[in-house]
Amino acid sequence: MDVNNPFAIYKWQALFDARDIFIDGLTTTLEVVIGALILSIILGIIFGVAGVFPNKIVKVINRVYVEFFQNTPLVIQVIFIYNALPHIHVMMPVLLIGIIGVGLYTGAYMAEAVRGAILSVPRGQVEAAVSQGFNYWQAMWYIVLPQSKKIMLPAMANQAINLVKNTSVLAMIAGGDLMYQADSWSGSNMYYGPAYVVTGACYWIICFALSKYIGKLEKEAEV
């Protein structure tokens, strides 16, 4: 047995035997992905629309949110939620911290995608709608947002894929996700090779499936 070979067969065998740990981690990662994706899309639409809202205060709120979360590292945001909030008696299970942390962070990028897509719709569309008696929200919902979809979707897809990979930040706070399990399992037995190859492959599969699915949505949006 070659101890110096990081990909020695027996190391793969050990990983296979410990597969339940990795499946656990993968499940947690998927839970965080789904939760954070939903949260980030909701935040993205709310703050994206706020970014074009004809009211200065609302626009400022959009800018503060976006600039704060885009310009500080995700790791620090998550560590802050994990370490600092308990001091003011806000304690959350680590899964929820992952969803909120990654969701808030990605939401800022989603908001920019939504805002940019809305701005790409010619101004005359809103004018035509309000000239027919639509109120602002009806004009947004029925006229502007459907047209901005085909610009919005690819930009949001990029962010969704970044979100999947960014959930690995949970490893920093013992989040029990795939990255954490790979770290802790391989840290105890030094079988880094198989652990990270398999973990990387798992992230790749999730991201690839997601981008294929969004590609399908984009095709539908073009009709």
Partner 1 sequence: MIHLSGVNKYFGDNHVLKDINLHVNAGEKVVIIGPSGSGKSTMIRCINQLEKPDSGEVVVDGINLTKSKGQLKKIRQEAAMVFQQFNLYPHKTVLENLTIAPILVQGKKRTEAEKTGLEFLERVGLKDKAYAYPTQLSGGQQQRVAIARALNMHPKIMLFDEPTSALDPEMIKEVLDVMVDLAHSGITMVCVTHEMGFAREVADHVIFMADGQILETGTPKAFFENPQNERTQQFLSKIL
Q: Which residues lie near partner 1 (CB under 8 A)?
A: 122, 124-125, 127-135, 138, 142-143, 146-147
Least distance to partner 1 from the beta carbon of 119, Å?
Answer: 16
Least distance to partner 1 from the beta carbon of 146, Å?
Answer: 5
Instruction: Give whichever of 138 and 158 is closer to partner 1, judged by the CB atom.
Output: 138
Instruction: Give whichever of 93 and 124 is closer to partner 1, judged by the CB atom.
Output: 124
Burial class (CB in 10 A: 0-12, 13-18, 19+), 161: middle
Least distance to partner 1 from the beta carbon of 142, Å?
Answer: 7
Least distance to partner 1 from the beta carbon of 218, Å?
Answer: 15
Instruction: Give whichever of 72 and 131 is closer to partner 1, judged by the CB atom.
Output: 131
Residue whose tokens read 């027996």 = 10
- The whole-angstrom separation of Cα 128 and Cα 6 is 65
Least distance to partner 1 from the beta carbon of 66, Å?
Answer: 27
What is the CB neighbour count within 10 angstroms for residue 43? Answer: 21
Long-range contacts of 148-152 (CB under 8 A, 24+ apart): 148/114, 148/117, 148/118, 148/120, 148/121, 149/117, 149/221, 150/218, 150/221, 150/222, 151/116, 151/117, 151/120, 152/113, 152/114, 152/117
Q: At what angle do helices 94-119 and 56-70 cross, to 10 degrees?
A: 130
**H-helix segments, the chain:** 9-17, 19-50, 56-70, 74-79, 94-119, 123-131, 136-138, 145-166, 178-189, 192-222
Least distance to partner 1 from the beta carbon of 170, Å?
Answer: 40
Instruction: Give whichever of 93 and 133 is closer to partner 1, judged by the CB atom.
Output: 133
